């Protein structure tokens, strides 16, 4: 599992960064257009205006690009513990996911269908902006899933090694000095004396 999460993590981050770069460009183009409407443009009666949701997506793209130094280890990580760093990454991704989702949902609700004006450049910019916003959100979903799997794996207690006790029964052979488990165990000899003048003998 750890190998799969490691292999998938960097490609998902790269996909997020690509979407963030494209989203940054598209939102900048959109804001520049709405804040500097050309003369004779029928949009909003020719009066310059500001799209808050476009600015929100611009901030999301900047936050997404802000993860590059930490993922590539170009900047020192604020947390040294590996488990705490994983939880920090999960929390940061969750906040970014929520902000990105708000931008995607609100922009889609404002411009649900722009097919009627596809011949105009501003409409094509909006369509591409929402498409890359959703693609970036999908990449964030994948990163959060991997972060959750990693956190669960690290939080799981390690299994204790199985302890097996072997009970060796003593073995007694015909030989009084037969080695048992590497130890020479002599038999106990009882010494008894005979009568006066008698010889001692061993009773085995």
Q: What is the pLDDT of residues 54-81, one digit of tens each?
A: 999 999 999 999 988 888 777 776 666 6
Residue 142 lies in a domain: yes
Domain count, the chain: 1
Instruction: Write out the residue range of the structural domain in which residue 83 sits.
Output: 13-155
Inside any domain, residue 54: yes
Please report whether residue 4 resides in a domain: no
Q: Is residue 3 part of a domain?
A: no
Does any domain span residue 43?
yes
Query: Using one digit for the tens of pLDDT, what is the confidence trace for 115-129?
Result: 999 999 999 999 999
Residue 48, domain member (yes or no):
yes
| Long-range Cβ pairs for the range 50-57 (8 Å, 24+) | 53/103, 53/106, 53/107, 53/110, 54/27, 54/30, 54/107, 54/129, 55/27, 55/31, 56/99, 56/102, 56/103, 56/106, 57/23, 57/27, 57/103, 57/107, 57/129, 57/133
Please tell me the pTM assigned to this model. Answer: 0.71
pLDDT per position as a tens digit, 129-181:
999 999 999 999 999 999 898 888 776 655 544 444 444 444 554 554 445 45
Which pLDDT value is given to residue 106?
A: 97
**Residue 73: inside a domain:** yes
């Amino acid at each position: 599992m750890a190998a799969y999460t490691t292999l998938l993590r960097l490609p998902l981050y790269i996909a997020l960064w690509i979407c963030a770069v494209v989203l940054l460009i598209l939102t900048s183009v959109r804001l520049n257009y709405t804040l500097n409407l050309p003369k004779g443009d029928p949009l909003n009666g020719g009066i310059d205006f500001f799209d808050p949701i476009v600015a929100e997506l611009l901030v999301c793209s900047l936050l997404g690009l802000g993860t590059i130094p930490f993922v590539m280890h170009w900047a020192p990580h604020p947390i040294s513990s590996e488990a705490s760093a994983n939880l920090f990454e999960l929390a940061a991704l969750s906040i970014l996911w929520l902000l990105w989702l708000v931008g995607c949902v609100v922009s889609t609700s404002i411009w649900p269908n722009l097919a009627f004006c596809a011949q105009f450049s501003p409409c094509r910019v909006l369509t591409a902006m929402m498409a890359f916003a959703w693609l970036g959100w999908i990449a964030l979903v994948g990163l959060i899933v991997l972060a959750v799997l990693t956190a669960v794996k690290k939080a799981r207690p390690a299994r204790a090694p199985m302890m097996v006790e072997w009970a060796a029964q003593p073995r007694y052979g015909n030989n009084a000095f037969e080695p048992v488990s590497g130890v020479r165990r002599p038999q106990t000899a009882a010494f008894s004396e005979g009568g006066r003048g008698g010889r001692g003998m061993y009773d085995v």
